[in-house]
Amino acid sequence: MTVKRAGSILLTLAITACGGGSQSPTAPTSQSQPSPPNPQSAPPAPTPAPAPAPTPAPASFTVSLPIRPEDSRHNAFGVNSFGIHIGDHGADGHPGWDFEYAVGASILAAAEGTIQSVMPSEGGAAFGIQISHVMNGRNYRTDYGVGTLAPEIAPGATVVAGQPLGIAAAYTRTIGTVTVTYAFTHFQLDDFSKHDGLTNPNAVSPENYLDSAARQAFETIWRDAVYYQELVEPFITNPRNVVFPMTRTWTLQAGGLAPRVDFTRAHNAANDFTYVLRDASGASLDTGTAEINPLAKPLSTIDFIPAGGQRRLGVYSVLGGTMQLQYGAPGAARPTSLAGSSEYGTPQS
């Protein structure tokens, strides 16, 4: 907004008149003269014009979640994050987020827009819905997989954020060694100003586009998410373009277990890992295979299996770049809680 300020100019004219005296004649009285300017006095500085008000930044494109927080479930995974190498995205990395729903729950539009297409899905969902969005001349698109369509969901229709698009498709599958029934959608955000050269080249992580309410709700859902890849791909947003074998190093922050743990995933279809327990200098203390069950209740389990030795049984919890880990001596019983566990950290790269 431009602020204008009218100035005013005050012109002052001073005139001094001659004064009369007594009736007797007197010497004429001279007209008073203005005092000469003091050469040492500077004229007053002009009042500076106020700075113009800053132009508001254009609104940025934001999205809400395609799920009501009360419809979120964690029977199978809760959330599969962006970039993880999983299933049919083992080669190029997951180009969106998968949300697990209560069976029968509705999938919601994440932003106002126009339905671009409704097509039979190539995945497990019955239909794929694409919604186009325009903000400040930039084009975006959100994608959803649904089992059944809500009324009036058709190409060309307009939708508002939070509007039901359909019911999440339900599945019964074996994940690792656990068979579960769950519903989910693949939610993808495309920013057409971005291009990374992979399949789904315009796909971006929704993390940086969430509005404040969505961010708060997502953090609650994410806190309890579990998936097999999280030992090496633990973040909400992981890089899609990686090389296998993939190794992630976890460094001890607090506690008495090994100062460092390296986990390596050999290929993009592997659910098991190799591990190296290291001392503070980086020397190997123990090495072998790590078997995990992230769906174990009440805590995810991990078995450290050295070549020719007894297993170390443990439990763990990963949240982003922080891991809580507790394991016993070789051959000892598995811990039943994370009380007294060691805390590890890993940087996001």
For residues 176 and 255, membership in a common domain is answered with no
pLDDT grade, residue 4 (50/70/90)?
very low
Instruction: Dump pLDDT digits (tens) for 59-99.
Output: 699 999 999 999 999 999 999 999 999 988 888 999 999 99
Any domain includes 238: no
In whole angstroms, what is the distance from residue 98 CA to residue 100 CA? 7
- Are 349 and 254 in contact by the 8 Å Cβ rule? The answer is no
CA 173 – CA 181 distance, rounded (Å) = 7
Cβ neighbours around 266 below 10 Å, total: 12
Q: How far apart are CA 138 and CA 129, in angstroms?
A: 20
Question: What is the predicted pLDDT for the residue at 124?
Answer: 67
Question: Cα(238)–Cα(253) distance, rounded to whole angstroms?
Answer: 22
Domain assignment present for 5: no
Query: What is the pLDDT of the chain when averaged over all its residues?
Result: 87
3-state helix, strand, coil in the chain (%, to 5): 5, 35, 55
Name the percent of the chain lying above pLDDT 90: 76
196 in a structural domain: yes
Distance CA 268, CA 272 (A): 11
Tens-digit pLDDT profile for residues 103-128 = 999 999 999 999 999 999 876 679 99
| pLDDT class of 177 with cuts at 50, 70, 90 | confident
Specify the residue for token string 């940086």.
Answer: 208
Is the residue at 205 inside a domain?
A: yes
In angstroms, the CA 155 to CA 114 distance is 8
Contacts of 102 (CB under 8 A, 6+ apart): 71, 72, 73, 183
The answer to whether residues 111 and 221 belong to one domain is: yes
Average pLDDT of the residues in 145-150: 96
Q: What is the pLDDT of residue 2?
A: 39
Q: What is the pLDDT of residue 90?
A: 85
Residue 91 domain flag: yes
Range of the domain at 314: 246-345
CATH of the domain at 131: 2.70.70.10
224 with 69: CB under 8 angstroms? no
CA distance 111 to 161: 4
Residue 268's pLDDT band, with cuts at 50, 70 and 90, is: very high
Contact in structure between 100 and 112 (CB atoms under 8 Å) = no
Residues in the chain: 349
Judge whether 76 lies within some domain: yes
State whether 128 and 91 are in the same domain: yes
